[in-house]
Amino acid sequence: MPGPKIKDDGSMVTLDLHGLRVDDAIEVTYDTLRLAQDRGRASLKVIHGSSTSGAGRRTIKSALYRLLDRGMLVGGHVHVMKQRSYFTLSLDLTASTDPTPIRLLDVW
């Protein structure tokens, strides 16, 4: 199974959570979001997969969507676009842009 990946083009950060356990995925998502905001990125795309596992089983998708729905992942000022296997957050651009790429090593 492939491991997690991060791609940062200076505007959008794409975080692929495949291969992580649920708790690790939540932690990496929080840390990546914080860095993306600190470095002035416009958006964060989080690829969580389509969660086709059995009903009632905790998945990365269900855990992250629960946090999003409760306002615990991001504040109300962030626009969330949900898709089947990912969601994208449009970030509040209050930080000045830092061109230093965000790497997986920075968040995990």
Q: Which domains are delineated in the chain?
A: 5-93 (3.30.1370.110)
**pTM score of the predicted model:** 0.87
Q: Provide the pLDDT for residue 50.
A: 76
What is the chain's pLDDT, residue by residue, as a tens digit (108 residues)? 578 999 999 999 999 999 999 999 999 999 999 999 889 999 999 999 876 565 667 899 999 999 988 888 876 667 888 888 888 988 876 667 889 999 999 998
Q: How far apart are CA 87 and CA 14, in angstroms?
A: 10
Q: How far apart are CA 20 and CA 2, in angstroms?
A: 9
